[in-house]
């Protein structure tokens, strides 16, 4: 593998932005700072573009008309390649509530696929509250079941990284314990939990709240629900920053309460991502995309058409934060959640050379994955 040097860029560290150079050898970052790129066999001159760690998206359902639930291996690769073009160097393929045989088939395809951007799977459901299931088909929801969990994880435990469930459902406590014992990160979401139920559930030791505010009992000043319990906790909180799922003012308030070290930006992108406005099939239903926002009949939000670079751009615009703070929410924070921060999530010597190069509009010019340029803007 030839060595690669990046010159003339602005390096985005967790605490600052600074001019500098990057040297990449054997898929790792081996040099940072002034003059290191001269040791490389190939040098890219970046003309003041930003160089950041590659973006990590822990919740994406599909793109280009394909959904991870039903996509073939070739279609899964197409989805991943699409997101790579927008700066994603690590992604959890998210599977929504579906019949067990459909979930198992999707997991078999994902397990057999070797793609450098695929970090594993996020199971969102089927243990969700019916009142807060959103676009998940109600007929596929199930009560929490140890038998279901054990049957699935016996075959796919090594690729399932996160499992989202509603903690107030009967049987959820035993499922949470089982998932934690098997090394799966527990996330709470699509929940009707009250504030008191939320506090009890948080004592079980989950790791994440899935898309805060969306798919849960709304915050009310007399019944603040899981939202308030989560904000008072030390947990990571994922947020959808498309301007439709969470109002920009709410994003600002959450940021003031939680700080930048706990927030994780997700796309929650669905199959129509990458396509223009129109009507498309989704999870066995029809979804209408208008102004980039997918909705079911009746106005129910059905995921997004976001890419992660746009999510970071929106978060920076909504909060007015500095660039490193916005980038952290899609790099270091998800890496810490997944326990891979020693390899990914920041610019540091010895880490994987997974990088994204973008301009002031967050348009991606290069994506570098494992030290290789896997996307270059025309």
Residue of 122, 88, 127, 89 whose CA lies nearest to 107: 122
Write the Ramachandran bin of 51: left for phi over 0, alpha for psi from -120 to 50, otherwise beta.
Answer: beta
Tell me the C-alpha distance between 297 and 14, whole Å. 42
* Site of tokens 């190069």: 357
Q: Quick one: angle between helices 248-258 and 225-232, nearest 10?
A: 40
Note if 359 is an active site residue.
Answer: no
Q: Kindly provide the b/e burial profile for residues 13-40, where b requires at least 16 CB atoms within 10 angstroms of the residue's own CB.
A: bbeebeebbbbbbebebbbbeeebbeeb
Query: Which residues face 240 on adjacent strands?
Result: 266
Tell me the C-alpha distance between 30 and 40, whole Å. 11
Q: Are 237 and 230 in contact (CB under 8 A)?
A: yes
DSSP element (H, E) containing 7: strand 4-12
Which of the following is catalytic: 57, 67, 268, 352?
268
Tell me the C-alpha distance between 120 and 100, whole Å. 18
Count other C-beta atoms under 10 Å from residue 228's C-beta: 17
- The residues assigned a catalytic role are 268
């Amino acid at each position: 593998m030839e060595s690669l040097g990046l010159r003339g860029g602005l390096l985005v560290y967790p605490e600052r932005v600074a001019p500098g150079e990057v040297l990449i050898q054997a898929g790792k970052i081996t040099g940072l700072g002034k003059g290191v790129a001269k040791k490389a066999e190939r040098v890219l001159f970046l003309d003041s573009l930003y160089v950041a760690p590659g973006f990590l998206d822990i919740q994406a359902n599909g793109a280009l008309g394909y959904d991870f639930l039903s996509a073939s291996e070739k279609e899964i690769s197409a989805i991943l390649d699409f997101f790579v073009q927008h700066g994603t160097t690590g992604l959890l393929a998210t599977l929504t509530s579906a019949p067990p045989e459909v979930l198992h088939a999707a997991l078999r395809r994902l397990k057999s696929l070797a793609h450098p951007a695929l970090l594993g799977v996020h199971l969102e459901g089927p243990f969700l509250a019916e009142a807060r299931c959103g676009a998940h088909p109600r007929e596929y929801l199930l009560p929490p079941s140890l038998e279901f969990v054990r049957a699935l994880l016996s075959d796919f435990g090594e690729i399932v990284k996160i499992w989202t469930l509603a903690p107030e459902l009967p049987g959820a406590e035993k499922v949470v314990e089982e998932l934690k014992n098997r090394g799966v990160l527990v996330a709470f979401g699509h929940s009707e939990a009250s504030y008191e139920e939320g506090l009890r559930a948080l004592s079980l030791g989950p790791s994440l709240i899935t898309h805060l505010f969306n798919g849960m009992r709304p915050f009310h000043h007399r019944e603040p629900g899981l939202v308030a319990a989560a904000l008072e906790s030390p947990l990571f909180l994922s947020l959808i920053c498309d301007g439709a799922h969470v109002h920009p003012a709410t994003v600002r308030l959450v940021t003031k309460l939680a700080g930048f070290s706990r927030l994780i930006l997700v796309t929650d992108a669905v199959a129509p991502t990458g396509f223009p406005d129109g009507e498309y099939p989704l999870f066995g239903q029809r979804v209408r995309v208008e102004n980039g926002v997918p909705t079911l009949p009746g106005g129910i939000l059905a995921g997004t058409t976001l890419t992660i670079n746009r999510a970071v751009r929106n978060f920076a615009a909504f909060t007015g934060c500095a660039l490193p703070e916005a980038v952290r929410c899609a790099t270091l924070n998800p890496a810490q959640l997944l326990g891979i921060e020693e390899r990914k999530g920041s610019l540091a010597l010895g880490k994987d050379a997974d990088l994204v190069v973008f301009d002031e509009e967050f348009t991606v010019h290069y994506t570098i994955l494992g030290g290789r340029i896997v996307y270059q803007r025309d």
